[in-house]
Amino acid sequence: MHYISTRGHNAHQTFSEILLGGLAADGGLYLPVKYPQVTPAQLDAWRGLSYADLAFEVLSLYCDDIPQEDLRALVRKTYTAEVYCNGRADDSAKDVTPIHWLGDEQGTRFGLLSLSNGPTLAFKDMAMQLLGNLFEYTLNKQGQELNILGATSGDTGSAAEYAMRGKKGVRVFMLSPKGKMSAFQVAQMYSLQDENIYNIAIDGVFDDAQDIVKAVSNDHEFKARQKIGTVNSINWARVVAQVVYYFQGYLLATKNSTEKVSFCVPSGNFGNVCAGHIARMMGLPIEKLVVATNENDVLDEFFKTGVYRARKSAETFHTTSPSMDISKASNFERFIYDLMGRDAVKTAQMFKDVETKGGFDLSQDPAYKNIAQYGFVSGKSTHLNRLDTIRDIHAKYKVLIDTHTADGVKVARENLQSNVPMLVLETALPIKFAETIEEAIGRTPDRPASFIGIENKPQRVVDMPADVHQVKDFVAAHTGL
């Protein structure tokens, strides 16, 4: 399996060669030369596998330069019930991502794919824990070290830091938007005292932090000298690890591979739903991929109109589903590359237009007129929708969901189809957004014992303007390189 850039850089590379990096040399994102295909017979053969063994089957199609016995050991080390059982002690913990069926609505089964069982109580743990083990394995093999520069709107940062803390040869420099995350998210990240973890609070929004990470990635001399890598979802390994739980959700929701399932995905940076797109391109029988946005509705606007209009920082809303407060979706480029028939020249020009003109318009393009074949539909949710949905799900099913999952549930209900099960990808435990949960139902949600009092712990963070040069100087000063 070899990988190419969405912008045309034609040097085919292996999984291990792109693992530690982020952007390709031309500023594009990596994708496989072609998606491996999974047959109905393979799908049925995978029924009943543990999550770790299913992950091996899926990932081995993409990571064929890692010895199979090593890859199997890595996924079995990563995906254990002990790591992925926060807040859940029932038999379904063995599934790692169990389905929590809510009930029947509009003639179809409707439920949550539980992805928040990991150490930081968010779906980002599903890929990040594997990434930490892959990084340590590869660095040890190569005798190298890595300085990770990342950006977070909330959950990526804590998932990355918890996955990388104490890892040999790895430092993490995580940028986050100052004052734009929940108190719990802030405490999860900033309370870590590990010497290899550095938190930088940027005066701006997530997109400002993400732009800094991309600018550093595009400074090839600095990136090489400082041994810079990334854990954001521009990193291919992050995305492909998330593909696995679409297969797991499908297999748990069906009895045979003739059935179809729809997935609704709360989305900001398009990484989570991009993994669903890849699973569908591999042959997983997904009927619809429902993209749910909050008030920052760039993606909803595109899927409804064909116009991609990235917002400026001042136009990005600070909402009660803050991990989706993103107005420039990095992973969207991967889908656009496929939509445009893998035309790298067109893709490169379109994303140059994003930087210079603020977006692009495909409304009259023949490619957009064929978009239905990819299964995407979309919808938007607001603060009042979130409150109403949290209250309704709690009253009707005695289940408490977080604000992002509420966005997903609201939009999923608008796109139910008779006899096609709908799974909403749960994104986090409600405690991460306690203030809004209390506003919705009048009480704060329960929290795992290990996180009691986390907001009162000493915090270690550096405040900084949204300036790439100051970030570079900080990284250089703390790497000794």
The residues annotated as belonging to the active site are 124
Q: Helices marked H in 123-205 — which ranges?
A: 125-142, 155-164, 183-190
Q: Which of 127, 88, 154 is nearest to 319 (CA)?
A: 154
Maximum distance among all Cα pairs of the chain, rounded to whole angstroms:
61
Q: Which residues pair with 360 in a beta bridge?
A: 308
Identify whether the C-beta of residue 268 lies closer than 8 Å to the C-beta of residue 241. no
**Element housing 386 (H / E):** helix 383-397
Cβ partners under 8 Å of residue 277, min gap 6? 289, 334, 335, 338, 374, 376
Can you say whether residue 435 is alpha, beta or left, with left for phi > 0 and alpha for psi between -120 and 50 degrees?
Answer: alpha
Judging by DSSP bridges, how do beta strands 99-105 and 30-32 pair with one another? unpaired
Q: Would you state the structure tokens that stand for residue 408, as one six-digit string?
A: 């997903």
Please say whether the beta carbons of 212 and 64 come within 8 A: no
Output the CA torsion 371→376→381→385 (10° steps): 130
Sequence-ordered list of residues with C-beta below 8 angstroms from that of 152, at least 6 positions apart, any chain: 158, 160, 174, 175, 176, 181, 189, 206, 209
The rounded distance, in Å, linking the Cα atoms of 468 and 139 is 27
